[in-house]
């Protein structure tokens, strides 16, 4: 019997396993996928680290978390600066003076602010109640129409008026010429990829892949004293109160015999006429100079039970339903639910690490 059965060898499960093992606990990690690392899995193809589940850029404001992850990898100085393509127009992201200059020809912050103020006044919005109103309020109608509406409705498969405002607050809007997508103090891509980080975290820990919890636990009901569960919380409870909503993705990856396909790691396609949301060219995360390149198109997809639930849809309806599952979870003294699916929360990697470290301090 192990002290901990860890369901999911993604970031949460691996940080937890690593720290629990350091404290002398015995752990068994299982994952239904054929590889470790969950959604941060990267794979070396011809010397290029391919982000198999979409672009992953590590960024944080939290110095202890930055120090923690640096124990497992050295990071390069990549700064995420996506380009947005709307029909034949190209704009810098996040919304900054370069974007405003391209959109309106303005050169100073005062000119840009005046246009946004005028467009905001025209909408009459005082207190934004949903994503559309929040976006119009923050950035005005032109930016909303060309850079937000199409992308967001593709990404979430919903009208912007039905989506919560907080999603768009993730994107900075600033009146300086600065294309850094994040406001955080620390940022980069790990040399050697993310999988290597997880390998280091799981060194010395027994891992069984292609192992689904529900089959495993039927055969081994007494495998561990406690279980750390990083899969979907509603699935764990057999969808007892109904399924939470998720958004899925389809990744289409292609090797191309060209050195440089799009000149940037991330190009977002913000119009509704293009079915994918973005193309990533993996080598640019590491300033690669290989003769060939690898690109991935990311297509949003409706979630159904046979597909990966990549994004929780944190609107009021789902958050209320999640609270019911959380109450059930809290009644289980032998379980810890963690990670993006266990906590049903849009968590970046730094927040996942912080949550796993918090869970360990309770041991
Ligand atoms: P996961 O990585 O999902 O791990 C959970 C694991 O549990 C999976 O491997 C799964 O197979 C396994 N599992 C589930 N159920 C079972 C079961 N019943 N039995 C066995 N195994 C099971 N974060 C950033 O900080 N920066 C970014 O740039 C960024 N970009 C992202 C882009 C995309 C497209 C997505 C989807 C996420 C992005 N994230 C980013 C978030 C990041 O992926 C997460 O914070 C992180 O991967 C969460 O780790 P986790 O361990 O909670 O979940
Ligand atoms: N977004 C947008 N246009 C863009 C990029 C993002 O409207 O070109 C919106 C969209 O609603 C998205 C949200 O901003 O869901 C957050 O974007 P982020 O890049 O943080 O999403 P993630 O990388 O987590 O998918």
**Statement: residue 208 has pLDDT above 90:** yes
Across the range 1-20, mean pLDDT stands at 98
Give all domains of the chain, ordered by start, each with its CATH number.
2-78+186-245+312-360 (3.40.50.720), 95-168 (1.10.3110)
Annotated catalytic residue 289: no
Atom of ligand 1 nearest to the CA of 41: 2
The span from the CA of 282 to the CA of 48, in Å, is 7
- d(CA 211, ligand 2 centre) in Å: 33
Give per-residue pLDDT as tens, 265-286. Answer: 999 999 999 999 999 999 999 9
Ligand nearest to the CA of 170: 2
Atom of ligand 2 nearest to the CA of 168: 14
Cβ neighbourhood burial of 64 (10 Å; 0-12, 13-18, 19+):
exposed
What pLDDT shows up at residue 363?
Answer: 76
Tokens representing 81 are 């600066």
Model confidence at 149, pLDDT cuts 50, 70, 90, reads very high
Annotated catalytic residue 247: yes
Ligand nearest to the CA of 308: 1
Mean pLDDT (the chain, rounded) = 97
The percent of residues in the chain predicted with pLDDT above 90, rounded, is 95
What pLDDT shows up at residue 315?
Answer: 87
- d(CA 117, ligand 1 centre) in Å: 39
Give per-residue pLDDT as tens, 278-309. Answer: 999 999 999 999 999 999 999 999 999 999 99
What pLDDT shows up at residue 169?
Answer: 85
The span from the CA of 95 to the CA of 305, in Å, is 36
Options 133, 234, 286, 298, the catalytic residue = 298
**Statement: residue 170 has pLDDT above 90:** no
Q: Is 152 in the pocket of ligand 2 (CB under 6 A)?
A: yes
Options 85, 153, 213, 247, the catalytic residue = 247
What long-range pairs does 62-65 form, CB within 8 A, spacing at least 24? Answer: 62/350, 62/354, 63/185, 63/186, 65/350, 65/353, 65/354
Please name the residues in contact with 361: beta carbons below 8 A apart, sequence gap of 6 or more: none
Atom of ligand 1 nearest to the CA of 33: 11
Annotated catalytic residue 52: no
**Statement: residue 362 has pLDDT above 90:** no
Q: Is 217 in the pocket of ligand 1 (CB under 6 A)?
A: no
- d(CA 169, ligand 2 centre) in Å: 9
Residue with tokens 């561990």: 224
Annotated catalytic residue 346: yes
């Amino acid at each position: 019997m192990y002290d901990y059965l860890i369901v999911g060898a993604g970031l949460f499960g691996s940080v937890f396993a690593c720290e629990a093992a350091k404290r002398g606990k015995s752990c068994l990690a299982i994952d239904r996928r054929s590889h470790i690392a969950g959604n941060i899995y990267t794979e070396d193809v011809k010397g290029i680290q391919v982000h198999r589940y979409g672009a992953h850029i590590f960024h944080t404001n939290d110095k202890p978390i930055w120090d923690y992850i640096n124990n497992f990898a050295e990071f390069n100085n990549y700064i995420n600066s996506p380009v947005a393509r709307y029909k034949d127009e190209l704009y810098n992201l996040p919304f900054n003076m370069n974007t405003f200059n391209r959109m309106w020809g303005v050169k100073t912050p005062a000119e840009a602010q005046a246009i946004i103020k005028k467009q905001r006044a025209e909408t009459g919005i005082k207190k934004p109640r949903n994503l559309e109103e929040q976006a119009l309020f923050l950035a005005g109608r032109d930016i909303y129409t060309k850079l937000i509406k199409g992308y967001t409705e593709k990404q979430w498969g919903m009208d912007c008026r039905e989506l919560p405002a907080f999603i768009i607050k993730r994107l900075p809007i600033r009146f300086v010429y600065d294309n850094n997508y994040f406001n955080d103090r620390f940022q980069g891509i790990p040399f050697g990829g993310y999988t290597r980080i997880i390998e280091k975290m799981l060194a010395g820990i027994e891992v069984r892949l292609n192992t689904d919890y529900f089959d495993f636990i039927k055969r081994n009901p007494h495998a561990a004293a406690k279980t750390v569960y990083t899969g979907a919380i509603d699935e764990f409870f057999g969808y007892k109160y109904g399924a939470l909503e998720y958004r899925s993705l389809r990744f289409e990856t292609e090797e191309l015999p060209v050195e440089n396909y799009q000149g940037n790691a991330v190009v977002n396609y913000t119009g509704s006429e293009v079915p994918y949301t973005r193309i990533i060219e993996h080598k640019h995360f590491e300033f690669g100079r290989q003769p060939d390149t690898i690109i991935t198109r990311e297509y949003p997809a409706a979630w159904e039970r046979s597909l990966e639930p990549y994004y929780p849809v944190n609107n009021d309806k789902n958050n209320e339903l999640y609270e019911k599952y959380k109450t059930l979870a809290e009644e289980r003294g032998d379980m810890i639910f963690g990670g993006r699916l266990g906590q049903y929360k849009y968590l970046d990697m730094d927040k996942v690490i912080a949550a796993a470290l918090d869970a360990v301090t309770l041991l």
